[in-house]
Amino acid sequence: MGREKHHVIRWVTSLFCMVIFGLAWLVRNLWLATGGAVGLCYVLWRIAHASRGSPEEATAANARVPRTAPRRSPPATVSLPQRPAISRKPVDPGDTDALVGRMLAQERFALLLRPKIAVNLSGAHLRRAQEALEQNMALVPDGEVVLGRIDEALQDGKLNEEEIAAAAGRLIQVERFFLDRFPVTNQQFYEFVADGGYEQMALWDESIWPAVLDLIDSTGMPGPRYWRNGCFRPEEKDHPVVGVSWYEASAYARWVGKRMPTDAEWVKAGSWPVPLSATTRLQRRYPWGDTMDRKRANLWNPGRPRSMPVNHYAEGVSVGGVYQLIGNVWEWTSGNFRPGDHFAGKLELPTPMKTIRGGAFDTYFDNQATCQFQSGENPLGRRHNIGFRCAVGVCDLVLTRQPSGVDERAEGARGGADPGADDPGAAGAAAAEPVPVAEEVRA
């Protein structure tokens, strides 16, 4: 029954009551007059109440209005590189095309571009491998980077040459290298597990051989700790792989022909230092600038914190086109954890630790999710919030042509970013970096 119909009924009833009241008044019947008056008052009260809205309607309206704080809009995403389907059938070792195709599907393009393998491949194969490399990895130019807290004096150019030399322990020279645009996903790590990565002992550090048998998932199969039956949950295909120790990450990196990034490389890719003069350099606190913006990184939030697919939070991309350096999961680096400026005094570690960087989905403080902040973890630790990404030096690869420096997708993702956050000069510097061609590397 419609709202208008209710109104008509109420008005008709009120008219009826008025007639009764009038008739009773005329015939001097007190009881009838009282009944009519009461009926009239009730109907008028109902009409007045209806014009304000009924309690049921008010409840329904309240239900529609969110009682809680407005939810954040979903994070911006970027499309992941196309990955060809992988055939699980055995490949004829003599069929180079099939072998290369399979390795490219497994994203082992860096292995194909290693000089020892590249000499056996045709130009077409190398071109395909380099295309995959440029699609999946970002080029970071060479240069100096400051590790640890950046002294204001060093930034402002107040230090002279001797003072800079004194701080040289923290001033690291980095050669140009490629860094994975995204953290390694469950799907990517599955290829390693399915290819028997846990049985190929050559991929593992000799010191860890006794422990490899113990690197199992929750059902006792070889694999990351939180997988079941040697496989991840289908909905987490594009989530970063977690529950892997530093050694598992290292073995995966070897399998794909890469390595773990050093601390200096990781910081350089994120903070993108720009030397303004001999004594002055600018280093970002976050890949997008110097101010934390929780829309650009998956850090602790009041809901239930959890990891997100690697292509989310596209606005947090670095100048060079590397995604999710900050937030989502901590990332293993190759470096040993040496507590620096963030920890006052000399620390005594319970076990030797490897460095992790970038913060994770459950990192609480903004100052612990900066490019400079480092934490440590037992290299055998398989934590729920530690993943990794790989790197490879430009000098370790055979490149047939000069790779482009800055990813177009990254440019697009940064389109809405604040103009002060990005430094076009720095991006230009990356693009202008001369990259050795195949002949140079061979020479």
User: Rounded to 5 degrees, what angle do the CA atoms 132, 264, 247 make?
Assistant: 70
Distance CA 327, CA 335 (A): 20
Q: How far is the CB of 162 from another protein (least distance, A)?
A: 31
DSSP letters for 170-184 = GEEEE--EEEESSPP
Asked if residue 28 binds another protein (CB under 8 A), the reply is no
Give, in order, the Cα–Cα distances in Å from 380 to each of 128, 186, 337, 362: 36, 19, 14, 21
Q: Which one, 366 or 396, has the nearer CB to another protein?
A: 366
DSSP, collapsed to helix, strand or coil, labels residue 322 as coil
Q: Which one, 313 or 337, has the nearer CB to another protein?
A: 337
Burial 269-301 (b: 16+ CB within 10 A, else e): bbbbbbeeeebebbbbbbbbbeebbbebbbbbe
Asked if residue 357 binds another protein (CB under 8 A), the reply is no
Q: Do the Cβ atoms of 243 and 225 come closer than 8 Å?
A: yes
Q: Which one, 108 or 382, has the nearer CB to another protein?
A: 382
3-state DSSP of 324-335: CCCCCCEEEEEE
Q: How far is the CB of 138 from another protein (least distance, A)?
A: 26
Determine which residue in the list 107, 377, 407, 422 makes contact with another protein, applying CB under 8 A: 377
Q: Which stretch binds another protein (CB under 8 A): 47-55, 133-141, 199-207, 361-369?
A: 361-369
Asked if residue 353 binds another protein (CB under 8 A), the reply is yes
Asked if residue 333 binds another protein (CB under 8 A), the reply is no
Determine which residue in the list 27, 69, 202, 443 makes contact with another protein, applying CB under 8 A: 69
Q: How far is the CB of 34 from another protein (least distance, A)?
A: 41
Q: How far is the CB of 307 from another protein (least distance, A)?
A: 13
Q: Which one, 136 or 385, has the nearer CB to another protein?
A: 385
Q: How far is the CB of 155 from another protein (least distance, A)?
A: 22
Determine which residue in the list 56, 162, 235, 348 makes contact with another protein, applying CB under 8 A: 348
Q: Do the Cβ atoms of 220 and 291 come closer than 8 Å?
A: no
Q: Do the Cβ atoms of 215 and 245 come closer than 8 Å?
A: yes
Interface residues for another protein in 382-421 (CB under 8 A)? 383, 385
Q: What amino acid is encoded at 361 in this protein?
A: F
Q: How far is the CB of 184 from another protein (least distance, A)?
A: 20
Distance CA 108, CA 237 (A): 18
DSSP, collapsed to helix, strand or coil, labels residue 96 as helix
Distance CA 267, CA 373 (A): 9
Determine which residue in the list 364, 412, 428, 440 makes contact with another protein, applying CB under 8 A: 364
Asked if residue 240 binds another protein (CB under 8 A), the reply is no
Question: What region, left, alpha or beta, does residue 424 occupy, with left being phi > 0 and alpha being psi -120 to 50 degrees?
Answer: alpha
Q: Which stretch binds another protein (CB under 8 A): 102-110, 131-139, 185-193, 335-343?
A: 335-343
Show the tokens assigned to 75: 């994070």
Q: Which one, 141 or 339, has the nearer CB to another protein?
A: 339
Q: Which stretch binds another protein (CB under 8 A): 33-41, 83-91, 257-265, 376-384?
A: 376-384
Interface residues for another protein in 267-326 (CB under 8 A)? 300, 302-303
Asked if residue 65 binds another protein (CB under 8 A), the reply is no
Distance CA 114, CA 103 (A): 13
Give the residues lining the site for another protein (CB under 8 A).
Answer: 67-69, 300, 302-303, 339, 342-350, 353, 359-360, 362-365, 367-368, 375-378, 381, 383, 385
